[in-house]
Amino acid sequence: MKPVLPSLSIVVVTHNRSELLKRALSSILKCAKDGYEIILCADDSSAETIEVAKNFLRAQDSFIRIPSMRGPAESRNIGAKVARGKWILFVDDDDTFGDQHIDEILAILPEEKNKVLYFNYKRVVESREGPPFIQLDSKLMDISNRDPVELLIRNFIPMHALVFSAELFARHAFDSQLQSHEDWDFLISLLTSGADFEWVDCGRSDGVVVHIDASSTSRNRVADTALDYLSIYRKWPATDMSIKQVRSNLLDCMGIKIDCGAL
């Protein structure tokens, strides 16, 4: 008898943050259905991460530990390559889902292989001096009326607030050469290839929760954001002059002056 393949593969990436990882995996495993697998990719060799994997992962899940990886881009690429599901969802170790979100995703997965489904999310600013982590602020981010074309200017969809077919990933990958914003670069690659982005209402304000570290030490904050923006703009040149101008204005605010025609 052939094994039943999961409908959804959830690729979780982590790096030396076992307490955050526990919270992320706990939020996923609140879904008791068998229609999904977890692929945990650890860019570290810590005993704490291994212990979390032993305690949380189920028989159908996978643990990939490659300390030589150079960040989330490579981790996600490797996780997606071994995924068995028809649909893929990426999660960073500091983000979570509401109690019913995975159940709701499993219920709405379409047959169209060119679809990218995305959802509203809650943005939480927290202190990580613990555990316990202390919530300082939260805000519901309604992106239902945002045009996916805006992705050509800046990202507005968190990586774990969307799900897409495994066949789409077979033609795309995360750029490990970028110091930051490789998730945004990946979404542009999907958009420009003709993938159909569709917002879906899951009916819950806390289905997807993005946790922001109040200490302002996240990778995207400390990296040279302006240069990565410029790199992405050059990699994906716009054809619309209005988009070129907005890109130029945004870079100008970041301290880079460049003619919009080059963007």
The string of pLDDT tens digits covering residues 141-156 is: 999 999 999 999 999 9
pLDDT at 205 over 90: no
Are 176 and 195 in the same domain? yes
User: Number of structural domains, the chain?
Assistant: 2
On whether residue 2 sits in a domain, the answer given is: no
41: CATH: 3.90.550.10
Are 250 and 133 in the same domain? no
pLDDT at 57 over 70: yes
Judge contact between 225 and 180, C-beta under 8 A.
yes
Question: What is the distance between the alpha carbons of residues 44 and 172, in angstroms, rounded to a whole number?
Answer: 25
**In the prediction, which pLDDT does 170 show?**
80
pLDDT at 222 over 60: no
Are 17 and 87 in the same domain? yes
Kind and range of the H or E run holding 213: strand 208-213
Neighbours of 175 (CB within 10 A): 18
- Domain of 230? 224-263
Question: What is the distance between the alpha carbons of residues 40 and 60, in angstroms, rounded to a whole number?
Answer: 12
Are 29 and 70 in the same domain? yes
> Looking at residues 51-79, what average pLDDT do you find?
90
Q: Are strands 87-92 and 162-165 parallel, antiparallel or unpaired?
A: antiparallel
Q: 217, 202, 162: which is closest to 186 by C-alpha?
A: 162
